[in-house]
């Protein structure tokens, strides 16, 4: 079984991922994921839920491309915050679990 890590906040997870080489910002370059989702693998997932406000919920993805590029993508969990890249990542995650 792979190690599981839990961090107190999104920023702590991002700091740790950055220290492990996940330094490319897929939020700024989300077109990469949308155009070629088959080129990516989700390596880490961290989910954070707000205590009282669903808009405070977020998910942090640690992503690795087939070419070796490692980076992060942070998505909100509220119903109005889902974009094309987040939808592509959801599909990648589901496909990866069924292998």
List pLDDT tens digits, range 61-71.
999 999 999 99
pLDDT in tens, 59-97: 889 999 999 999 999 987 655 556 787 777 777 755 455
Closest CA to 26 of 94, 81, 74: 74
User: Token pair of 97, please?
Assistant: 């679990």
pLDDT of residue 76: 77
Global pTM value: 0.77
């Amino acid at each position: 079984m792979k190690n599981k890590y839990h961090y107190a906040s999104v920023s702590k997870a991002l700091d740790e991922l950055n220290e492990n080489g996940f330094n490319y910002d897929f939020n700024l370059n989300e077109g990469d994921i949308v155009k070629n989702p088959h080129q990516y693998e989700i390596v880490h997932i961290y989910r954070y839920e707000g205590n009282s406000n669903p808009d405070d919920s977020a998910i942090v993805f640690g992503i690795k491309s087939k070419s070796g590029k490692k980076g992060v993508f942070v998505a909100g969990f509220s119903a109005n915050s889902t974009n094309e890249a987040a939808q592509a990542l959801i599909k990648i995650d589901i496909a990866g679990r069924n292998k």
